[in-house]
Structure 1
């Protein structure tokens, strides 16, 4: 329900006529108006959610630069997170843009809002989607081309020796307290990894998990465990995701595999997360050519992994990462915009 106080029908009609006249005055440029001025009047002000993880943060800053410098928008970055941002967009129509919305957890209400015309899906932010599963280093995959699946890897505990017990293989778990710790533990049981000579290793934290991969790479040792993309660590260390050998079983996942008390988990691949840019109806209608950009702006996990790795090495902010990407990879982002807009962005950089 609108928070604007109700008006009489006469007041509404008067307000509509006033807004119409005002809109005509602003949207019709004078003969001397430059293309930039005309474009500003089309795009206007836009609020963009600066969500609180690295890939979403850098994407928000990329949008900030391209929308402001390329399309003349007046951009305001506002703090965001998945649930609060999408809920605010559904209920209040603000912010205008969620650059990297992981929608699996809120698919039902979000689809309903799109059907009602309140919100709109633009491009897939991540063309590959968010990816989870068990991974091994590429050098090990190259040396053992027979290892393609989780089942294949579990035939060779000797290739993934545990630091605690060299006679056992190791499967590295997700950080403590994360939901993926439960799903990885249940996958370990579903694949009967213990009976095949493996131990489930508690990595303790995200830093501990990343450190175990870095250590294995430095020593060219075997490593097997849970990870996800896009992330900076996969930009630094080339890893190969193992095929689960079975599709995602949503029913088994919800009934048992994703729960702490799961006595009989089933083999199931992890669901591929759908990641979209989401727009409010207001901006969909008012954004003009800027909306075309957001309908095209999509990049691969490999591209994001590499950029996040650079940001981690440089201790760079989202703004730093955005500027670096736009300066060094015009062949990617140039496909999202017209040549004229690309030249404006390059000139601004």
Structure 2
């Protein structure tokens, strides 16, 4: 899936309102995402100052004319504040919309749906204005997906052999799978070794495709 950033809404809101698929769709419904300080307005929750995603969200707020649509932009102040706003909304089954990213433990615990943008990504516009805090005229844009790869040193690749490199080339999983694992590790205060074992025990349909049948049999026997 890659590293995904953007504006998200709870899945229960998306399920109840299937017409909300994009940011422009969401902006038609401030009543579904009330501002805790002023319920007559909608609220878009932003990250803390210093984050690149916070800058982009502020620029998207202007570009998509969210204020005109009846929304305020909420500064959550910290990562904990942002996480807490999602947890509070989810536990109360209330509306929430704002910035977040995946894969993360939080989105592994609370199922969220990322809004589309209604436009394609324009790299030039992204660089010119969407990522520049003091740019006065941002235009609607789509958040690009960050590529996530496995890197190894050349000497390692030469010594490892074809079976190991074939495994590394095949190894991949969805953000949902990784987020769920991260959430389990957080809830259980698990170590990396604990997390790896849990993944192997719970996701045989995924990892057995990465290795030979002989290797899969040995791994299963060791669990």
TM range (shorter): over 0.9
Matched residue, 1:54: none
**d(CA) in 2 for partners of 1:327, 1:220:** 32
TM-score normalized by structure 2?
Answer: 0.96
The Cα offsets for residues 162-211 of structure 1, whole Å up to 9 and x where unpaired, read as 01111110000023221111011000000010111100001111111111
Q: Deviations over 1:287-328 (max 9, x none)?
A: 111111101101111110110110111111222211111122
After superposition, residues 142-181 of structure 1 pair within 5 angstroms as 142-181=15-54
Shift of 1:132: 1.0
Pair member with larger Rg: 1
1:171 match: secondary structure: strand
Are 1:257 and 1:266, in contact at CA under 8 Å, matched by a contact in 2? yes
The yes-or-no answer on 1:217 pairing with 2:86 is no
- Between 185-194 and 339-348, the greater mean CA deviation after superposition: 339-348
Report if the CA contact (8 A) 1:161-1:170 is conserved: yes
Residue of structure 2 equivalent to 1:297: 171
Aligned to 2:60: 187
Cα deviation for residue 346 of structure 1 reads 2.6
Q: Which of 188, 191, 197 is the aligned partner of 1:317?
A: 191
1-structure distance, mates of 2:48, 2:194: 28
CA distance in structure 1 between the partners assigned to 2:171 and 2:23 by the alignment: 34
Extract unaligned runs of 5+ from structure 1.
1-127
Matched, 1:276 2:149: yes
Residue of structure 1 in register with 2:113 after alignment: 240
Alpha-carbon separation, structure 2, partners of 1:196 and 1:234: 27
Instruction: Give the TM-score normalised by structure 1.
Output: 0.62
Runs of 4+ with >6 A deviation? none
Displacement of 1:347 in angstroms is: 3.2
Q: Which residue in the other structure is 2:208 paired with?
A: 334
Unaligned runs of 5+ in 2: none
Q: May I ask how many residue pairs the two structures share in their alignment?
A: 222
Alpha carbons 1:176, 1:203 under 8 Å: kept: no
Q: Aligned equivalents of 2:18 and 2:95: distance in 1?
A: 14
SS for the counterpart of 2:96 is coil
CA distance in structure 2 between the aligned counterparts of 1:176 and 1:256, rounded to whole angstroms: 18
Paired residue secondary structure (1:201): strand
The question of 1:129 aligning with 2:2 is answered yes
What is the Cα deviation at residue 256 of structure 1? Answer: 1.4
